[in-house]
Amino acid sequence: MYVSVAEVRNTIGINDTTIIPDTTIEQAISFAEDEIDRFTNTTYYPVEEKGVVTTSTNTELTDSNKSWIPDLYANYAVYIYSGTGKGQIREITTNTIDTLTIDRAWDTNPDTTSKYYITYNNKITELLDGKAEIELQVDKYPIIQVDSLKINDVAISSSNYYIYNKTGKISLKNTAEKKYFGTGSTEDDRQAINLTYWYGILAENRKGKIDLPQQIKRLCAIVAGLKALSYQMGGTYNTLSTFTLPEFSGTIGQAYVNIKGTVDVLNNELTELKKMIVGRNPYME
């Protein structure tokens, strides 16, 4: 998740699970992640687990210090963020208590210098129209890694094209198996492009920290918190705030009023955060 349940609870100031269950906050985080992805026009790779490689084969990674639930991370992704094989990302097909099996072989097998983390699987396959040009603009970016590229079912070797990660552009070299993404005469002569690639923002910055951008984490905590509070406001709108009996009067907490006050503060912060984020390069600083 982009943020933890505890981070959302700290944001809204409600730690009692009988008032707002963890499952409600988890659902709110999921909705918040989708909203943030749409707002920033990309996606993010939170750290779900991390460690150091003990051994590896062409299609496996073992960390003998782990004791995972089998297949807990099936369909997740593993990313090598440091050491031998740095920069590679692969889909996890299965896992044992200490070994991940991946969907295709490493380009460079990790070793004991390699550090990894497990994260979301944001690999996509798109079918695009290719124009009579040597360049192709993908729909989603920044590009992290291209797994395969075909032009009219002709596979293009990875050594035969350039990837402009930040702008989402792919450019054919003059040695490519196909000269153009289209048939080569006019822009109307299109060819089917089958492209499988990974895109988004990795949980890694230039300072070597493995974490999401702090503004994105805060944005997610606020959006999820507001969603969780909106559920609670519906259930506490009529909660008694003060009472008077013949002998005395007292207060049991102004539930709706207090929650509404928190919502107003968070909405103001949310507005300012969105102003800071919109239009900026989404890469970590």
pLDDT in tens, 27-52: 999 999 999 999 999 999 999 999 99
Q: Please compute the mean of the pLDDT values over residues 211-220 and round it to a whole number.
A: 92
pLDDT given for residue 144 in this prediction: 96
The model's confidence at residue 88, banded by pLDDT at 50, 70 and 90, is very high
pLDDT given for residue 184 in this prediction: 58
The pLDDT tens digits for 92-115 are 999 999 999 999 999 999 999 999
When mean pLDDT is compared over 17-26, 39-48, 66-75, 229-238, the highest value belongs to: 66-75
Cα 134 from Cα 180, distance rounded (Å): 5
Q: Which value, to the nearest 10 degrees, does the dihedral of the CA atoms of residues 31, 34, 40, 46 take?
A: 90
pLDDT given for residue 16 in this prediction: 84
> Comparing 45-59, 150-164, 227-241, which segment has the lowest mean pLDDT?
227-241
Cα 211 from Cα 45, distance rounded (Å): 9
> Greater confidence, 257 or 198?
198
> Greater confidence, 240 or 6?
6
The second-level CATH assignment, the architecture, of 47-119 is Beta Barrel (2.40)
* Residues 47, 75 contacting (CB under 8 angstroms): no
Is residue 73 pLDDT above 60, yes or no?
yes
List, in sequence order, every beta strand (DSSP E) within 36-122: 44-45, 49-52, 55-57, 60-62, 77-82, 89-95, 99-102, 115-119
Nearest to 232 by CA among 5, 30, 18, 49: 18
Distance of CA 94 to the CA centre of its chain: 20
The model's confidence at residue 186, banded by pLDDT at 50, 70 and 90, is low
Cα 107 from Cα 115, distance rounded (Å): 16
Q: Give the containing element (helix H, strand E) for 193.
A: strand 191-199
Task: Quote the percentage of the chain above a pLDDT of 90.
Answer: 65
Is residue 84 pLDDT above 50, yes or no?
yes
> Comparing 9-18, 24-33, 35-44, 205-214, which segment has the lowest mean pLDDT?
205-214
What lies within 8 Å, CB to CB, of 254 at 6+ separation is 241
Q: Please compute the mean of the pLDDT values over residues 253-280 and round it to a whole number.
A: 76
Domain segments of the chain: what residues? 5-43+210-277, 47-119, 123-199
pLDDT given for residue 209 in this prediction: 80
Is residue 244 pLDDT above 80, yes or no?
no
Is residue 258 pLDDT above 80, yes or no?
no
Determine the Cα angle at 232 with ends 278 and 120, to 5°. 45
* Residues 159, 176 contacting (CB under 8 angstroms): no
Cα 266 from Cα 86, distance rounded (Å): 39
Per-residue tokens: 99: 């070994």
pLDDT given for residue 282 in this prediction: 47
Is residue 66 pLDDT above 90, yes or no?
yes
Nearest to 209 by CA among 107, 285, 114: 285
Q: What is the pTM of this model?
A: 0.83
H helices of the chain, in order, are: 5-12, 22-40, 214-236, 255-277
Cα 271 from Cα 285, distance rounded (Å): 21
Per-residue tokens: 72: 């807990």
Q: Cis before residue 70, ω within 30 degrees of 0?
A: no
Cα 211 from Cα 82, distance rounded (Å): 14
Is residue 281 pLDDT above 60, yes or no?
no
Is residue 228 pLDDT above 80, yes or no?
yes
Is residue 261 pLDDT above 70, yes or no?
yes
* Residues 161, 171 contacting (CB under 8 angstroms): yes
pLDDT given for residue 240 in this prediction: 46
> What residues form DSSP beta bridges with 44?
201
Q: Please compute the mean of the pLDDT values over residues 252-276 and round it to a whole number.
A: 77
The model's confidence at residue 19, banded by pLDDT at 50, 70 and 90, is confident
